[in-house]
Structures are given as structure tokens and as C-alpha cells.
Amino acid sequence: MDLTPSAFLAFYPQFSSFSQGVVLTEYLRQANARFFDYDEDTDEARRLYVAHKLTLYAAVCLPEGVTPSPAVIASAGRGAMQEVASKKVGEVSVSYNTSSSVSASVSTGLADLKQTIYGLQLLSLIRMHGFAKYIP
């Protein structure tokens, strides 16, 4: 059985005020297509996938009521979560990992999993159960 908006929001009520219903619907469609076996772990993978994608979307989307101009749209993605590749304390220096590889066992469609806590949980679940079960 496919994950529905009401089932997702019952599990993750913190997303209930998310105003972009079309985005939620699209991520649910993707989750249902990507994770197609029917058991408890599949349901958990679907929920984690949608929560991960909504978290990433919320980090880069325009605030409600802001008029989208080219400058505002261009700045919306700034400040998205990035993995720190290296740091230095004296004379302060930080480098961010810009590679998109997570693992040889994870498709490029899931390369951003390290960027949210939901994604890390999903990555753990994928590694625990194997590539073939979750990635068509």
C-alpha cells in the first residue's frame, strides 16, 4: 500500500504546517516508486525519504509571502546544509565537501542523504537491507 499524505503527517506531524502540498505530493510519489516492497521497513524508508526531501526543500525554498525575483531565487539555495570536509582553528578556515558521492551502493538520486538526519537514518536502513531492495 502506498504512503499517503495523511499517513505521513500522522507519523511526522512537524511537517503538517508545510504549505507546499504539491511538493509533498511529488515526494510521496517518488518515495512510493523508489521503495516498492511492502513491509515495515519499506514504510519507514518512504517516510524517511519524504521527510529528508521536505527538509532539504524547506532549507532552500523561498519564505512564504516573498516575491520571487531572480536575486531572491538565486539566494534561496545558499545556506543549505553541507558536509564539512576540513576545518582549521588558527586563522579560521572551513572547507565543504562538494562531491555528491555517498556510497557505491546508493544511486545518485539519493546522493544527498548525508545532509539531513532523516537522510542519515534512511542511508543506514538502505545499508542494513541492501541495495536491491530499495533502489529499483
Q: Where are the domains of the chain?
A: 5-64+72-134
Give the integer Cα–Cα distance in Å for 89 and 73. 33
- Residues 24 and 133: their CA atoms lie apart, in Å, by 24
Q: How far is CA 130 from the centre of its chain?
A: 19
**The pLDDT value given to residue 47:** 94
Residue whose C-alpha cell is 542523504: 113
Cβ-Cβ contacts under 8 Å for 29 (sequence gap 6 or more): none
Q: How confident is the model at residue 100 (pLDDT cuts 50, 70, 90)?
A: very low
How far is 125 from 133, CA to CA, in rounded Å?
11
Model confidence band, residue 30 (pLDDT cutoffs 50, 70, 90): very high
pLDDT at 104: 46
* Confidence (pLDDT) at 136: 38
pLDDT reported for residue 81: 52
pLDDT attached to residue 77:
47
Nearby residues of 123 by Cβ (< 8 Å), 6 or more positions away: 102, 103, 106, 110, 113, 114
Answer whether residue 10 shows pLDDT above 90: yes
Predicted pLDDT of residue 111: 75
pLDDT of residue 31: 92
Q: Is the pTM of this model over 0.85?
A: no
pLDDT in tens, 49-84: 999 998 888 877 766 666 655 655 555 544 445 555
**Span 103-136, pLDDT tens digits:** 444 455 667 888 889 989 998 888 887 644 444 3
d(CA 109, CA 6): 25
